[in-house]
Amino acid sequence: MFKCGYYLKGLQTFEHVTDHRPLISILNSYTLDAVENPRLQRLKEKLSPFIFTARWRAGKQLCIPDALSRHPVSSPTDEANMLVDVSAHEAVAVRAIHSLASPDDSQPATTDVQLEELQRAACTDETYIRLLHCVRNGFPSHRYDLHTTLLDYWKIRDELYCDGDLVLYGPRIVVPVASRKLVLRRLHDSHCRAEDTKRRAQQTMFWPGINEDITNVVRACDACQTLLPSQQCTGMMTS
């Protein structure tokens, strides 16, 4: 519901279907002051901008959320539709989800804009071109024979490999110099702490010194510095 809040806020009413039966009475009948559980209180508070009626439905009949969560690998059969007693429009929605998850080979694949940006930057970066050549053809036997711009990659040379025109370090893409500022900005879009941003980068991106760069970006972020625990407002003074 929260992900669709942009579309749901302001509606006179709508129906919320869930497979969690004990929540029905809490969502429909209980007021905020009548809920004692702190977790449920927070849930009711977050739902306060919405005007809706909760209705229970068995989990096996919630076909659309189930299809989105399980990534279907085949179209639902007529027998499957009869077993879960889905309506016609729900069956069509499930088939549409399947077509997106497993597109037909005759249709062109969706391009990754960010990946194309990295590839273009890699083609014009001399250091990256040297690195790509070393990864493809092998690093020199001695560290001192390596170009000075590639010395930072010497210790991880056995873990680097190529995928097209990009170099990867494990599951992480080695980012060209020209794209690093943009990547740093995107990594810190959510204004997480430095450690959280580093964990996010560890899944996708890499370059020598990336952790220090992330720390510097977080320290230079005005919004993050304003919300630091050490910047708490002074409490109201009472006589």
Mean pLDDT lowest for which of 40-49, 75-84, 163-172? 75-84
Domain ranges, ordered by start, for the chain: 9-101, 113-225
CA 176 – CA 115 distance, rounded (Å): 12
pLDDT of residue 97: 46
DSSP code per residue over 117-150: HHHHHHHH-HHHHHHHHHHHH---SSGGGS-GGG
Helix axes 180-187, 210-219, angle to 10 degrees: 60
CB atoms within 10 A of CB 101: 13
CA 15 – CA 139 distance, rounded (Å): 62
- The string of pLDDT tens digits covering residues 6-36 is 788 878 888 888 888 888 888 888 888 888 8
pLDDT of residue 86: 46
pLDDT of residue 235: 54
pTM score of the predicted model = 0.50
Radius of gyration of the chain (CA): 26
- The string of pLDDT tens digits covering residues 202-213 is 888 999 999 999
Q: Closest Cα to residue 194, out of 177, 211, 172? A: 211
pLDDT of residue 210: 93
- The string of pLDDT tens digits covering residues 131-142 is 999 999 999 988
Class of domain 113-225: mainly alpha
Residue 87 has pLDDT above 50, yes or no: no
